[in-house]
Amino acid sequence: DIQMTQSPSSLSASVGDRVTITCRASQSISSYLNWYQQKPGKAPKILIYAASNLQSGVPSRFSGGGSGTDFTLTITSLQPEDFATYYCQQSYSTPFTFGPGTKVDIK
């Protein structure tokens, strides 16, 4: 199985901050990397697919990058509604696996 790690596991930030979350795969997954946002008590929501493609309806302050084993999710200007947990997911091979999550909370 491909193992996914994320860093940091949590971070505190202020509204307007630029935030970057890193995801690393245990082997190369090309660009088969997706990012989700999850708020408490809610289902995850897709933000970015195939490493850098913004899902329709997702604000442009979210962006993704990377390929191979190292990926990033960047939020350019953090908004109050962005405080949530973010997960990466590899879709290169089954079993599809998720990272452990990065919780973004208010400083």
Partner 1 sequence: QLQLQESGPGLVKPSETLSLTCTVSGGSISSSSDYWGWIRQPPGKGLEWIGSISYSGTTYDNPSLKSRVTMSVDMSKNQFSLKLTSVTAADTAVYYCARTGDKGTWYFDLWGRGTLVTVSS
Contact positions toward partner 1, by CB under 8 A?
1, 32, 34, 36, 42-46, 49-50, 55, 87, 89, 91, 94-101
CB of 47 to partner 1, least distance (A): 10
CB of 23 to partner 1, least distance (A): 13
Per-residue b or e along 30-57, where b marks 16 or more CB atoms closer than 10 Å to that residue's CB: ebbbbbbbeeeeeebeebbbebbebeee
Give 20-81 as a DSSP string. EEEEEESS--TT-EEEEEE-TTS--EEEEETTTEEPTTS-TTEEEEEETTEEEEEESS--GG
Closer residue to partner 1 in complex, CB, 14/43: 43
Closer residue to partner 1 in complex, CB, 9/79: 9
CB of 55 to partner 1, least distance (A): 7
Closer residue to partner 1 in complex, CB, 17/69: 69
